[in-house]
Structure 1
Amino acid sequence: MIGFFVDDNAEDRIRISRLLEQDDLKIDPQFEPIAPTDLRDALLEKAPDLVALDFRLDDEDLDDNNYKGGALAQILREAVLETPGQDFPIILVSTEENIKQIYSIDRTSHDLFDQKYMKGRLNDKLYRATCHREVLSLANGYKAIASAIGKGQLDLNTLLDLDTDELEIVPLHGLATDVKDGNSVTHVVAGILLRQIIGRAGPLLAEKDIAAHLGLANDGKQIAQVMEYLDQLGMSYTGVFADGWPRVWRHRMDEWASELFGSPPSSLSGEERATKLSEATGFDLKPAVSTWTGKHDELFAFACSVCENPTERRNSLALYDKYLVPYLERRRVCFDCVIRGRLADLPNFTVDDSDVDIVDDIFSEKIKRA
């Protein structure tokens, strides 16, 4: 497969292309920003499997680069609306400064990119490996969606790799309608899956969410152990984009955990859950610790959307949630992140109006750490 990275800085274009490239996905740095429609035509002629864009395409003194990555992405998206098989993922690869200070404000462009990655972190082997896994999954996932469209099989059974009987018990009210409303446009369907299924806790759980639901410390090594154990029990998601974003089906894990614990997991403290899980798995598992109270015996239920540590409902606040649908978990932030001012670094996260009065109580110490 072949991808292209577009950047107005020639040195960055070559360097980042090399960092993004992998055995199954070559990245060609040949395109600099020229007139948008000319660049669109040149890219489409190459039939790309993926296109990566810097956000600031207008930094260098070139002839026709008076536009940003969002404008080019929009033109590319429009060009493939009626040809699902020619559609491809578009990712943003830019500096942390540009992503935080410009892209985060330009909300009209957010839905145009499938994922965003920071140039400065690509030198880190672990970050780069994650990036490689995800972008390859995007390229393969787009092909799987286009194939389903071509065969007239654009349904949840095919996309999520669930049979009809199991699909009936998974709370996905409205997802089938959203997919149908995608009008067989590959990138629209991909966006729905990435935003509403892969990127959010709900029917599927990522590592941080599994830690919270099982009351375990969000320690990479121990959660990787648990993920592998759950995979062996047949709980892993195997649908579109599964190879890029390892996930576990929540309904499968909850059924197993309820049988193991003898009651719903959320009714037990983190310490109780960790003890029973350690006995069942043979692993020496550490319980979660509340970031607010410092205790193991809290009723952990969510991963904080900011620090990603397990948190409890009573010591967390609801965040405003533009994309909240019935089958998604509400985003929440722990009191500790609020008092430390960490929300200021995430302009897309704001406390929901229903909980905003509690913020004053935290800062005035009406609500104190236990």
Structure 2
Amino acid sequence: MAKYNILYIDDDASKHGLEQIQPMIDTLEESDELKIHPFQSGPFDKISESLIKIINDFDAIIFDYQLDDRANDEGERGNMKAPVLAQHLRTEITNTERSLKDIPFILCSTNEKLQKSFTSDSTSHDLFDLKFKKDSSNLLLVTKRIRALVEGYNSIERENDLSNLLQNNYDSLDNRILSKFLSDKKKLPAHEYANSILKDLVYINGPLIGHKTLAARLGIDIENSPHWPALLENYFMPSKYSGVFSGGWDKWWMDSVNDIFLELTGSSLSSIDARERVSLLTEKTECKELKLSDLIEGCRSYRYWTICKSYDKPLDPREAFRAYTKKEPKPWQDHIYISKPGALDRVGFEDGLEIHPNDYDRYRLTIENLKNEGTK
């Protein structure tokens, strides 16, 4: 298996600060798939010139968000945040006269710094293909995703046919998805393909859905269903996404899931509730140990179709409020939902969860009705 060289720019990549980031580096290198090369931050003009000279030697760049906290070994302090440097490098990469390698950009920082600065700066979000926290408990998954990004960029450099990149007939998708890449004009840079595929398809439910949403729509409690892996492997594997970046994210084509369920059971997935879905799957397949997901306390409907952001449990969107997101979902993308019990108890709100403005009046009215009932 090839080992990829990853440049890691951090103001702690100095003799005085390296011990603070070494544990993270060691974990990212643990699987022997990546080699992390620390690079000291410093004044913008100096390090940007140095980076342009060496960028073709690397397969991806990890940027610490805060590049101006600590002076480097020469006593020079950085004078910018990661988005400024990343934007400059993207511009230089796009300049065809430079012949620079287009590679994934990844952002890391402490959660506190990301919350305070980066999350409120939506103009910077498209510069990075992946974001993670330095103190994440799942850095091995980060390693897997960095590798998938590198391999995805390599695939995009070789291929510009969307059906081949997605390993699915592009004509079966909403024709607004990735439409800017259909022009016969010169191929757009790899990072533009990557950004659109990741953020229009992979990172948010829509034509592709995630593992937990798939389980919710089938009605299955993953943790208490011993035959869940076998159900996926033996029956729903044809619906699994195998296109670009699939090595880092497990996703399923929803239209294919619908077709497989109909073929297996003779029923439309959306026309029956979770109790019937699980009953039919245990009847029509060899997977008998499948448990129905329980209702969220305070909910009544088993027509699960999404996940409650407060409780991370299956939910009927009709018993929920939409959550506010920095970017409004596109027409082919699903909203994020908060169950009514979760919203009323404000579970997760301390971490930034909010009611969507278009649902706020309904949320407020629900609270008022409950108060009025309590005074009767």
Fold shared by both chains (TM-score > 0.5):
yes
The 3 A distance-change label for structure 1 pair 185 and 260 is: same
**C-alpha distance in 2 between matches for 1:53 and 1:221:** 40
Matches within 5 A, 1:1-370: 1-9=4-12, 10-11=17-18, 12-21=20-29, 22-29=31-38, 31-46=39-54, 47=56, 48-62=58-72, 63-83=76-96, 86-121=101-136, 124=137, 127-148=138-159, 154-162=160-168, 166-168=169-171, 170-180=172-182, 184-219=188-223, 223-230=228-235, 232=237, 234-279=238-283, 280-293=285-298, 298-320=302-324, 322-342=327-347, 344-347=349-352, 350-366=354-370
Report deviation, 1:221.
6.8
**TM-score, normalising length: structure 2:** 0.84
Q: Which runs of 5+ in 1 are unaligned?
A: 149-153
Whether the 8 Å CA contact 1:215–1:270 is kept in 2: the answer is yes
The 3 A distance-change label for structure 1 pair 167 and 87 is: closer
Equivalenced residues, count: 351
Deviates more, 1:91-100 or 1:261-270: 261-270
**C-alpha distance in 2 between matches for 1:309 and 1:325:** 24
Deviates more, 1:207-216 or 1:38-47: 38-47
Q: Secondary structure at the match of 2:90?
A: helix
Whether the 8 Å CA contact 1:85–1:147 is kept in 2: the answer is no
Q: Secondary structure at the match of 1:80?
A: helix
Aligned to 1:151: none
Report deviation, 1:292.
4.3
Runs of 4 or more consecutive aligned structure 1 residues displaced over 6 Å after TM superposition: none
**C-alpha distance in 2 between matches for 1:79 and 1:220:** 51
Q: Which runs of 5+ in 2 are unaligned?
A: none
Structure 1 counterpart of 2:67, which letter? L
The 3 A distance-change label for structure 1 pair 193 and 231 is: same
How many percent of aligned residue pairs carry the same amino acid? Answer: 25
The 3 A distance-change label for structure 1 pair 262 and 174 is: same
Whether the 8 Å CA contact 2:310–2:343 is kept in 1: the answer is no
**C-alpha distance in 2 between matches for 1:139 and 1:221:** 35
Output the aligned Cα RMSD: 2.6
Q: Secondary structure at the match of 1:300?
A: coil
**TM-score, normalising length: structure 1:** 0.86
Q: Give the structure with higher Rg (CA).
A: 2
